[in-house]
Amino acid sequence: MADETKQKVSKDEIRSIIATDCGSTTTKAILIERQGDEYRLIHRGEAPTTVEAPFEDVTMGVRNAVGEVEELTGKEFLGDEGVIVPRESDERGTDLYLSTSSAGGGLQMMVAGVVKTMSAESAERAALGAGAIVMDVIAVDDGREPHEKIARIRQLRPDMILFSGGIDGGTVTHVSETAELIAAADPKPRLGTGYELPVIYAGNKHARTHVKDTLDDLVDLRIVDNIRPVLEEEVLEPAREEIHNLFMEHVMAQAPGYSKLMNWTSSAIMPTPGAVGRGIQNVSEQYDMEVIGVDIGGATTDVFSVFQETFNRTVSANLGMSYSICNVLLETGLENIVRWLPFEVSEADLRNRIRNKMIRPTTIPQTLDALIIEQALAREALRLAFDHHKTLATGLKGLKRARDMGSAFEQETTESLVDMMTLGMVLGSGGVLSHAPRRIQAACMLMDAFQPQGVTLLAVDSIFMMPQLGVLSTVHQEASAQVFDRDCLIRLGTCIAPVPGQDYYRSDRLFGRDVVEVELQMPDGSERTETLKFGELRRIPLQEGETATAVIDPTRRFDVGAGLGRTLETEVEGGVCGLLLDARGRPLYLVDDPAERRQLIREWIESMDIYPADALARYIEGQEV
C-alpha cells in the first residue's frame, strides 16, 4: 500500500531496488543495485501479464518476471508474502519495491467542462497528464444535443469522470447543467458492480453545493480545487493527484490481484503513462532542455513534451503498429505511406499486408521489404500522433491579449507550445524504434516523423524502462537519474537540420543549392568541414559519449537557430549513429514524381546506410533506376 512507514530504509541506505511495470500484455521487472557510488541496472526479466482469465491475478505475472531476475542473479527476492522488503541480506530481499500498471486497459476516463476550448480542454490535459486514456470530452458547446451526451456517458462506462467548468465566481448554471446530465446518465463504472463511479469535480467553487446536491447520492463525488480558478491560470495538480488516489482506491482495487500487489509495493502504484510522463519531466530537468518523448505501441502512441517548462501528454488511442495499424492507413492514406518506400508496390498488395499485420499482430518482418513498409507506417503513425500532440500542447485558450501599439485588436493565444527549433531532445521508445535492426533506422524514423529543426539530440530508450524509472524518481530521484543516463538512454546522435526561410520553396530550383557548411573540431583534435546542398543527408562518425565543437554556417536563406544566414557555434553530442546532417528542408521536401522520389529515397538510404544494399537491390531490380 502507499504507506510511507513501509519505507524503513533511508534513501542513502538503499542498495537494491526492484521495479515492475504491468503492461497489458507483458510484465517487466528490473533490478537496480548500487555499485560504489552509482546506481546501475543489473538485470531485467519479463513474463506475460496475468490480469485476464484464466489467471486473473496480476501478481502471478509479477512473480514470474521477478522470478526471471532471481534466476539471472541467483538471489532471492520473492517470499510467500510477495516481494521481500526490506532486504534481509545481500542475497535475500530488496530495499524498495515499486510498480506501475497499464494492465486491464489502463485508466479510462471521461472529462466534461463548460467551454470546449477552455475548462473542458484543461480537464482533458489534467486527465492525460495523470496517465488516463480520455474516452470522450463533453462540453456544453460541443455541438451535441443533451440526450446525445447522456447516451454517450451511459455507453462509455469510464473508470472515472473529471468535470470542471467556470472560473471561481463565474457561471453556475452551465456547470449545474453538466452535473445534471451526468446524474441523468446515472453512469456505471467499467470494472466491478459493487462500487459507485468516482466523479471528480474541479470547477467553479460557487457551484459545489449544487453539484453535491445533484450527484452525491449517485456517484462517489470528490471535490478538488478549480482547474481554472481564473481565466489566466490553469491549476492541474490537485485534480491529477485526486485521479491518482482514485486510481489506486477504485480502479486498481477492482482489477484482479491488485489489492495484493498494492500491499507488496513500497509506494503507490502509478498508471504507466503517468510514470513515463514523470520520467520525461525528469529528463528535461536533468539535461536542462526541452524534450519530446514518444512511445509507439501496438494499439496507441503516447507523446509527451516539456516546452517552456510546461509538461503535456497526449494519447493517440488508435495509432499503433499492430491492433490499430489499419487506422494509421485510414488516417494518413496510402500515398503517404508509399512516399517513404524506395520501391514500387501494388496498392492491393500493400493494403492486404497491412490488414494481415492487424489480425496477426505478433508477427515480425522477415523480408527487407516488409521491414521497410513497417517503418514507413511507423513514420506516419508518429507524425500523426505528433500533429495531434501539437494541437493540445498549447497556451491557454480564451485569454485576451492586448497587442502592442495600443492596437484595438485583441487576439486569442492558441499557438502550440511546441517549438522544434528550441527542442533539445527527441526520445523514442516502443518496439519499432527500440528493436529496429539498425539504430540508424530508428534515427531516420524520428527525423522524418518529427522533423527536428536546428540542433537536436535523438535518442531511444533501450528496453523501455521509463515507467519504472518514472515511479522510482518519486522516491529516489538520484537513482532514477543515474540509471536513466547510464543504462536506459541510447544516444543515436545529434541531428543538424537547417530550416529554409518562407520563400525558399517558391524558388524554381531547390536541389543543388548550398544549404550549410559545418566545421567540426573532432574529439581527437582533427578538423573537418562538411558542405551540404539542398536534399542531401549525411552521416559523420562521432561515438556515443564523445562531443565535437561545431561551427554551423547556413547560407543566407537558411536558419539553424541563430537566424537566417547566421552562424551558430555549439557543442554537439555523438551517438551510435554519429552526427546526422539533414539538408532536406523543413518541412521535409519530397518530390511529387513517384519515380524521382523513389530515387531520392534510395540516395538517402545509401548515404545513411539505412538498409543492407544487396538485399535492397533485389527489391528494386527491374524497377526504374
What 3-state class would DSSP assign to 382? helix
Report how far Cα 250 is from the mean position of its chain's Cα atoms: 25
Select from 137, 368, 551, 576 the one that contacts other proteins (CB under 8 A).
368
By beta-carbon proximity to other proteins, the closer residue of 464 and 611 is 611
Judged by CB under 8 A, does residue 371 bind other proteins?
yes
Report which secondary-structure segment, H or E, holds 140. none
* Pattern 465-504, other proteins, x by CB under 8 A: ----------------------------------------
Listed ranges 253-261, 265-273, 321-329, 493-501: which one lies at the site for other proteins (CB under 8 A): 321-329
For residues 285 to 304, the per-residue mask of contacts with other proteins, x marking binding by CB under 8 A and - elsewhere, is --------------x-----
Q: Does 132 bind other proteins (CB under 8 A)?
A: no
- Which of 40, 206, 212, 438 lies at the binding interface for other proteins (CB under 8 A)? 438
C-alpha cell at 327: 487506422
Number of H helices, E strands in the chain: 19, 28
Q: Does 346 bind other proteins (CB under 8 A)?
A: no
Q: Which amino acid is at 291?
A: V
Parallel, antiparallel or unpaired: strands 301-307 and 290-296: antiparallel
Show contacts with other proteins in window 508-567 (CB under 8 A): none
E strand intervals along 469-536: 489-497, 499-500, 514-521, 527-533
Q: Which is nearer to other proteins, 96 or 207 (CB)?
A: 207
CB 457 to other proteins: min, Å: 25
Smallest gap from Cβ 448 to other proteins, in A, equals 19
Residues 443 and 446: their CA atoms lie apart, in Å, by 5
- Say how many residues make up the chain: 625
Distance of alpha carbon 281 from alpha carbon 285, whole angstroms: 6
Asked if residue 363 binds other proteins (CB under 8 A), the reply is yes
Could you tell me whether strands 78-79 and 499-500 are parallel, antiparallel, or unpaired per DSSP bridges? unpaired
How many other C-beta atoms can be found within 10 angstroms of the C-beta atom of residue 269?
A: 25
Does 437 contact other proteins by CB under 8 A?
yes
Q: Which three cell numbers stand for residue 112?
A: 466534461
Q: For residue 587, is the peptide bond before it cis, meaning its omega torsion is within 30 degrees of 0?
A: yes
DSSP letter (8 states) at residue 130: T
Q: Which is nearer to other proteins, 195 or 589 (CB)?
A: 195
- What does the DSSP 8-state code read for residue 498? -
Which of 287, 323, 417, 549 forms a contact with other proteins (CB under 8 A)?
Answer: 323
Least Å distance, CB 487 to other proteins, is 21
Rounded alpha-carbon distances, angstroms, from residue 276 to 181, 431, 596: 34, 16, 41
Instruction: Count residues near other proteins (CB under 8 A).
Output: 62
Copy the grid coordinates of residue 536: 542531401
- Name the segment binding other proteins (CB under 8 A); options: 286-294, 327-335, 535-543, 587-595: 327-335
217 binds other proteins (CB under 8 A): no
Give whichever of 79 and 437 is closer to other proteins, judged by the CB atom: 437
Contact flag: residue 72 with other proteins (CB under 8 A): no
Backbone angles phi, psi at 335, to 5 degrees: -65, -30
Q: What does the block give as the cell for 294?
A: 514518444
Residues 142-161 that bind other proteins (CB under 8 A): 146-147, 150-151
| Contact residues for 321 (Cβ-Cβ < 8 A; gap 6+) | 296, 297, 298, 357, 374, 377, 378, 381, 430, 431, 432
Among 99, 122, 176, 265, binds other proteins (CB under 8 A): 176
Pick between residue 223 and residue 368 the one whose CB is nearest to other proteins: 368
Q: Which residues bind other proteins (CB under 8 A)?
A: 24-25, 49, 51-54, 103, 146-147, 150-151, 172-174, 176-177, 180-181, 183-186, 210, 214, 299, 318, 322-324, 326-327, 329-331, 348-349, 351-356, 358-371, 435, 437-438, 612, 615
